[in-house]
Amino acid sequence: SFWLKVAQGIQGCRNCLNRFLQTLPKMVRISVLRDCLNNIVNAEKRGKRQVLVRPNSKVIVKFLQVMQKHGYIGDLEIIDDHRAGKVVVDLVGRINKCGVISPRFDVTLDGIEQIANDLLPSRQFGHVVLTTPYGIMDHEEARRKHTGGKIVGFFF
């Protein structure tokens, strides 16, 4: 009789716990770009040839196109599933690290050099990605176009 009551109490507690857990707020994504770049770096470390990134956004696609232009990743296949979308990225094994800078600090034309020195391991390689009035581009192109902007992230 005692053990029956204990068993019923445990069962009752489990039901209450399940109901309580259902009322808790769900986790939300803070930065889809950060999740994307982390997925890419982790897949690269594991030696994968492709990685599926979801959800998709315009900023993610533009950032990946900058990486593709410099040969850090292969082809991009954008999958439109009438929801948030997906991107399949072909990896070539060149990415050592990539990341997002949050908040997106303002960078003047003069400050681009300092930001690149702070974030990148060497002058010879690596790129800082900026969002400018002329679109999303790396720091070298921004310097050529003589414009500043806000810093989005980096890769090398």
Q: Give the bridge partners for 137, in sequence order.
A: 130
Q: What pLDDT, on the 0 to 100 scale, is given for residue 28?
A: 79
Residue 152 parent element (H or E): strand 149-155
d(Cα 83, Cα 149) in Å, to the nearest integer? 30
* Res. 10 pLDDT band, cuts 50 70 90: low
Q: What average pLDDT does the segment 103-130 reach? A: 94
Q: What pLDDT, on the 0 to 100 scale, is given for residue 110?
A: 94
Q: What pLDDT, on the 0 to 100 scale, is given for residue 9?
A: 63
Burial degree of 103 (CB within 10 A; 0-12, 13-18, 19+) = exposed
Q: Is the pLDDT of residue 142 over 70?
A: yes
d(Cα 101, Cα 110) in Å, to the nearest integer? 19
